[in-house]
Structure 1
Amino acid sequence: MFFIKLKHITFALLLTEKVKELSKYNIDIYGLEDKQYDYDMESGDAFFEEMEQDLIEHGHFKTHVILSKSATMIQLRFHTTGSVTLTCDRSLETFEEPIDSDERIILKFGDHNEELTEEIEIISRNTNRINVARYIFDFIALSLPVKKLHPSLRTEEDDFDLEDGEEEGTLVYTSGAEEEGEEGEDEEKIDPRWEALKNLKK
């Protein structure tokens, strides 16, 4: 009986720590005036552990978020810099991979919450708070090189392949009121690397 009670207490503490870690990425948007706001956030090993994924275990990042609010939408700009610990595909040695990412998300207000695709989402006008943890993680993950090679083993061709896999992207979350032509253009611009992240979240 004591063991079961202790187990429940341990689980509750772990759950509390998880909530505490991810709550650092909450942004209260209810009542914000229509202007620009700046936020600075730091992410470490605890962040990656709480994201419930096995792509990244160790890393340290700083993210500067610029939130621009208007009556109809919220625009979020993310500038994330830092490094992640990777394991070389060839030598199995660990190494630090620098990351420098600039991304943007647009949230348009609608009358309900609905995720249409990985890139398009409706958020309610009554939304009080948004959490940007998943956005930050996804942008870091998209910045990872396709080939994980230790710097000492890289050739010019390898470096070209790494850079080719790190193109910047833009996510657009909308109310679904866009014209069909614009929606078609958004679908054509979907980064194929999102498929890998989609499978990771399953």
Structure 2
Amino acid sequence: MCSLESFKIDLKGLKEGETIFKYDLDNAYFEAVDGPEVRSGAVEVELRVQRTSEYFELNFHSEGTVNVPCDICLDDMEQPVSSDNRLTVKFGEEYSEDDDLITVERDEGRLDVSWFIYEFIALSIPIKHVHAPGKCNPAMIKALEEHSAARSSDGDEEKPVDPRWSELEKLKTIIKD
């Protein structure tokens, strides 16, 4: 199992200027984070932390692939991901998150970026993810075709339509008019 300890940044210990952190995320990371959208993948993350006297600017760049289920056949597929995100962090009395501004307790001085990285990756996944044409599971595609309401019959003659669908078709034409 992956230790998420390396994702906890000691902000108090950073010098003014830029500090760079690099993370190579693998399946162990995604299992440790235990997020709902992504369970495995290989993603490289570069985090640039710019410290000034008043705040910290965190710039994340993520690039790689994650494994997600295909929307058509449900088999896992590799989905390329790439994202650039930014957070601003400052010290305060208690921890809070407001949009892109994170307040870290002054006494604690540490920020765990493991979940932020996961969220940035998950948000970069397109809403629709399907295999390239011809790459879906053939057995699942066959099952889908057999059970599809829009399938056509074998031969030239059409099967009679279920009368309930006919009534719905009438409603559809009334709505169009």
Normalising by structure 1, report the TM-score. 0.61
**1:151 counterpart residue number:** 132
- Report whether the alignment pairs 1:22 with 2:9: no
CA contact (8 A) 1:94 1:150 kept: no
Check whether the contact 1:28–1:128 (CA below 8 A) recurs between aligned residues. yes
Q: Distance in 1 between matches of 2:103 and 2:124?
A: 26
> By how many angstroms is 1:147 displaced?
1.2
Please give the alpha-carbon distance, in whole angstroms, between the structure 1 residues aligned to 2:97 and 2:17.
Answer: 28
Q: Is the radius of gyration larger for structure 1 or structure 2?
A: 2
Partner of residue 30 from structure 2, selected from 24, 27, 48: 48
Structure 1 gaps, min length 5: 1-16, 154-202
CA distance in 2 between counterparts of 1:113 and 1:23 reads 21
Q: Which amino acid aligns with 1:115?
A: S
Structure 1 residue 141 corresponds to structure 2 residue 122:
yes
Shift of 1:51: 1.3
* Matched residue count: 135
Q: Distance in 1 between matches of 2:89 and 2:41?
A: 28
Cα distance in 2 for residues equivalent to 1:104 and 1:64: 12
Amino acid at match of 1:73: Y
RMSD: 2.1
* 2:17 alignment partner AA: K
Q: Which has the higher strand share?
A: 2
Counterpart position of 1:197: none
Tell whether 2:45 aligns with 1:63: yes
| Percent of paired sites with the same residue | 28
Aligned partner of 2:154 in structure 1 is none
- Secondary structure of 2:115's counterpart equals helix
Q: 1:31 to 1:56 in 2, by over 3 A?
A: closer
* Aligned equivalents of 1:126, 1:70: Cα separation in 2: 18
Larger helix share, 1 or 2: 1
Residues in 1 aligned to 2:15 and 2:126: alpha-carbon distance in whole angstroms: 39
What is aligned with 1:107?
A: 89
Q: How does 1:30-41 map to 2 (within 5 A)?
A: 30-41=12-23
Deviation of 1:28 (Å)? 1.8
Is the contact made by 2:87 and 2:101 (CA closer than 8 Å) also made in structure 1?
no
Q: Any idea what SS the aligned residue of 1:24 has?
A: helix
Task: Point out the more displaced range, 49-58 or 132-141.
Answer: 49-58
3-state SS of 2:122 partner: helix
1:94 aligned to 2:76? yes
**8 Å CA contact retained: 1:29, 1:127:** no
For structure 2, which runs of at least 5 residues remain unmatched after alignment? 135-177
- Three-state SS of the structure 1 residue aligned to 2:133 is helix
Partners of 1:126 and 1:40 in 2: how far apart?
26
Q: What is the 5 A alignment of 1:169-184?
A: none
Q: Letter of the 1:134 partner, please give it.
A: W
